[in-house]
């Protein structure tokens, strides 16, 4: 018990040293608290930084837990015991200025470097970049030697190097060269403007040039990643269109609305399973496929079967169906966009380095698209349906004479293509808002993918979808979204003049005719 009382007596002295009018004296008190090795020191310093360390009229130090409202809940600064609520008139806040705030941030970061939690140490080391002063330099040098985590050690080395660079130490550049962190680049840029030390400025400029070159490579990698993820969605959206167009010769302008139905299926599943976005998303995969497939069968049986061999009438009829489906969704649900919640395991990003991070939702969409493509490839190559589809695609009349029921193949093919469009909608729901016009944004791109890749060819659709996704992503930053689309369209027009049947032309007598 005497030991506890002695500790409290020392703690009271430390806190009382803060409650003075002199800011330099408060700075000395902050340093004393940080060096006291008291396990409560970080809480005191954080509360002081946030304006929550206060003193009652009786002289008792308390920490305000919530400073909203008239009466504030408080806890004893020494014991942590909750003291109920107190009127803010009965409390006196310990004031600090901007210099003390900067000191507190640095001191708290140093205190966190001694924590057992590696995540806390990493965050602390990150905050110290560009914040190290002469007082922190010596203890940091000792901490670098003791630190076991490589990432924390790297950040502390860079933080110390930035400080030394500011002092004119040219050797510090060795520890900063190659770093992509923004604060490192700022420190090097400042050093290049040092007219008094040309050797230092030249060395900093060389390091900065190397970093800029690496940054360009990372930006190119990020552009490629975004392009592949968007291209994978284009591939999913177009692959069903390629199959149905190859088998039936039908230009289905309602294909975009089948994508929309898949996206709305995801939103509906989240309404049925509130608070469980992960489960809802997994269930929406089969549901989205079935909803879009059934809608596709209904379109084929009610409209398309009566218009076979009449492509213009089919185009106009399916365009009317697309308008009907859009209006149906507006009336039944809402004309406003709906937001689909991304599950926690799809949130965040995979950090490659300080300049490149890959968002997990796009990574999952890319992987999902490739899995659907592989499954569809197996169906077309390893099942009776796939054999019959390929036979009808190559020569419908010959397939009929061999006993294949072409009408049944048409129905199943349209259902399969529509279901894949629904899966594209499920994937899109994780990248953008869900609305009645969702499909219209992708129908033209889907047709371009089909024409570019080759009608009815799965591999052609994959290559064309990924290629156009990357090309769009490369062009958009400097040409704009609209002009980028025009450039791609002109490219495809020129391409099909040389290769009318696409990258991977369809084989068979029907294709030749």
Q: What is the spatial distance between Cα 140 and Cα 143, in angstroms, rounded to a whole number? A: 5
Residue 297 pLDDT: 93
What's the Cα-to-Cα distance from 412 to each of 42, 175, 390, 405, 446, rounded to whole Å? 67, 63, 13, 11, 21
Residue 290 has pLDDT above 90, yes or no: yes
Q: What is the spatial distance between Cα 450 and Cα 192, in angstroms, rounded to a whole number? A: 52
Residue 7 has pLDDT above 70, yes or no: no
- State whether residue 243 is helix, strand or coil: helix
Domain range list for the chain? 2-98, 222-339+384-508
Contacts of 439 (CB under 8 A, 6+ apart): 255, 256, 257, 258, 259, 260, 322, 425
Average pLDDT over residues 157-184: 89
Q: Which of 28-37, 77-86, 131-140, 477-486 shows the highest mean pLDDT?
A: 77-86
**Residue 6 pLDDT level (bands cut at 50, 70, 90):** low
Mean pLDDT score of the chain:
86
Report yes or no: 488 and 475 within 8 Å, Cβ to Cβ.
yes
Cα-only R_g, the chain: 33
End-to-end CA distance of the chain: 99
Name the token pair of 17. 């040293």
Picking from 62, 40, 502, 418, the residue whose alpha carbon sits closest to that of residue 237 is 418
- For the stretch 82-117, pLDDT in tens is 888 888 888 888 888 888 888 888 788 777 887 788
Q: Higher confidence at residue 512 or residue 86?
A: 86
Give the HSE-up count for residue 200: Cα atoms under 13 Å, Cβ half-sphere.
19
Q: Which of 102-111, 338-347, 393-402 has the lowest mean pLDDT?
A: 393-402
- For the stretch 369-390, pLDDT in tens is 999 999 988 988 888 888 887 7
Residue 195 pLDDT: 66
| DSSP notation for 391-418 | HHHH-HHHHHHTT--HHHHHHHHHHHHH
Helix (H) or strand (E) holding 246: helix 198-248
**Residue 456 pLDDT level (bands cut at 50, 70, 90):** low
**Residue 314 pLDDT level (bands cut at 50, 70, 90):** confident
Q: Which of 200-214, 258-272, 296-310 has the lowest mean pLDDT?
A: 296-310
Q: How many other CB atoms are there within 10 angstroms of residue 437's CB atom?
A: 14
Residue 12 has pLDDT above 90, yes or no: no
Average pLDDT over residues 497-512: 65
Picking from 486, 490, 512, the residue whose alpha carbon sits closest to that of residue 501 is 512
**Residue 452 pLDDT level (bands cut at 50, 70, 90):** confident
Report yes or no: 256 and 323 within 8 Å, Cβ to Cβ.
no
Residue 506 pLDDT: 61
Residue 509 pLDDT: 44
Residue 414 pLDDT: 87
Residue 512 has pLDDT above 50, yes or no: no
Average pLDDT over residues 338-360: 88
| DSSP notation for 95-136 | ---HHHHHHHHHHHHHHHTT-S-HHHHHHHHHHTTTT--HHH
Percent of the chain topping pLDDT 90: 25
Q: Higher confidence at residue 203 or residue 481?
A: 203
Residue 385 pLDDT: 84
Residue 283 has pLDDT above 90, yes or no: yes
Residue 107 pLDDT: 81
- State whether residue 61 is helix, strand or coil: strand
Residue 129 has pLDDT above 60, yes or no: yes
Residue 268 pLDDT: 94
- 222-339+384-508: CATH topology: ABC transporter involved in vitamin B12 uptake, BtuC (1.10.3470)
Average pLDDT over residues 161-178: 89
């Amino acid at each position: 018990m005497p030991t506890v009382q002695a500790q409290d007596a020392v703690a009271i002295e430390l806190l009382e040293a803060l409650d003075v009018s002199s800011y330099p004296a408060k700075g000395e008190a902050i340093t004393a608290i940080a060096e006291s090795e008291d396990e409560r020191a970080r809480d005191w310093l954080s509360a002081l930084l946030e304006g929550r360390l206060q003193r009652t009229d009786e002289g008792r130090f308390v920490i305000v837990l919530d400073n909203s409202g008239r009466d504030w809940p408080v806890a004893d600064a020494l014991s942590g015991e909750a003291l109920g609520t107190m009127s803010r008139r009965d409390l006196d806040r310990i004031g600090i200025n901007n210099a003390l705030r900067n000191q507190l941030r640095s001191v708290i970061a140093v205190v966190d470097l001694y924590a057992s939690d590696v995540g806390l140490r990493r965050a602390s080391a990150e905050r110290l970049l560009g914040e190290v002063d002469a007082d922190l330099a010596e203890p940091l040098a000792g901490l670098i030697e003791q630190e076991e985590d490589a990432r924390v050690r790297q950040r502390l080395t860079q933080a110390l190097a930035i400080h030394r660079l500011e002092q004119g130490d040219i050797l510090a550049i060795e520890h900063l060269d190659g770093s992509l962190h923004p604060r490192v680049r700022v420190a090097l840029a400042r050093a290049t403007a040092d007219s008094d030390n040309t050797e230092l400025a030249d060395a900093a400029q060389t390091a900065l040039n190397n970093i800029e070159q690496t940054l360009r490579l990372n930006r190119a990698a990020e552009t490629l990643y975004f392009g592949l993820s968007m291209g994978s969605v284009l591939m999913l959206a177009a692959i069903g269109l390629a199959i149905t167009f190859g088998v039936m010769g039908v230009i289905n302008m309602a294909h975009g609305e089948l994508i929309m139905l898949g996206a709305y299926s995801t939103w509906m599943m989240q309404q049925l399973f509130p608070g469980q976005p992960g489960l809802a998303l997994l269930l929406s995969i089969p549901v989205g496929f079935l909803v879009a497939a059934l809608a596709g069968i209904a379109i084929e049986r009610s409209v398309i079967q009566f218009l076979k061999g009449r492509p213009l009438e089919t185009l106009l009829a399916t365009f009317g169906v697309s308008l009907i489906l859009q209006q149906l969704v507006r009336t039944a649900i809402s004309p406003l966009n709906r937001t689909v919640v991304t599950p926690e395991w799809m949130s965040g990003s995979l950090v490659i380095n300080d300049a490149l991070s890959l968002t997990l939702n796009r990574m999952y969409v890319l992987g999902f698209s490739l899995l659907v493509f592989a499954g569809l490839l197996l169906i077309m190559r390893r099942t009776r349906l796939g054999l019959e589809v390929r036979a009808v695609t190559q020569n419908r009349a010959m397939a009929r004479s061999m006993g294949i029921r072409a009408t049944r193949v048409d129905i199943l093919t349209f259902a399969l293509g529509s279901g894949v469009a629904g899966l594209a909608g499920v994937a899109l729901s994780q990248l953008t808002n869900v609305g009645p016009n969702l499909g219209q944004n992708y129908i033209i791109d889907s047709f371009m993918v089909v024409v570019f890749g080759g009608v009815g060819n799965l591999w052609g659709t994959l290559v064309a979808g990924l290629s156009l996704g990357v090309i769009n992503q490369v062009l958009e930053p400097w040409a704009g979204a609209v002009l980028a689309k025009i450039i791609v369209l002109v490219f495809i027009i020129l391409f099909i003049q040389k290769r009318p049947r696409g990258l991977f032309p369809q084989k068979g007598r029907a294709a030749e005719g």
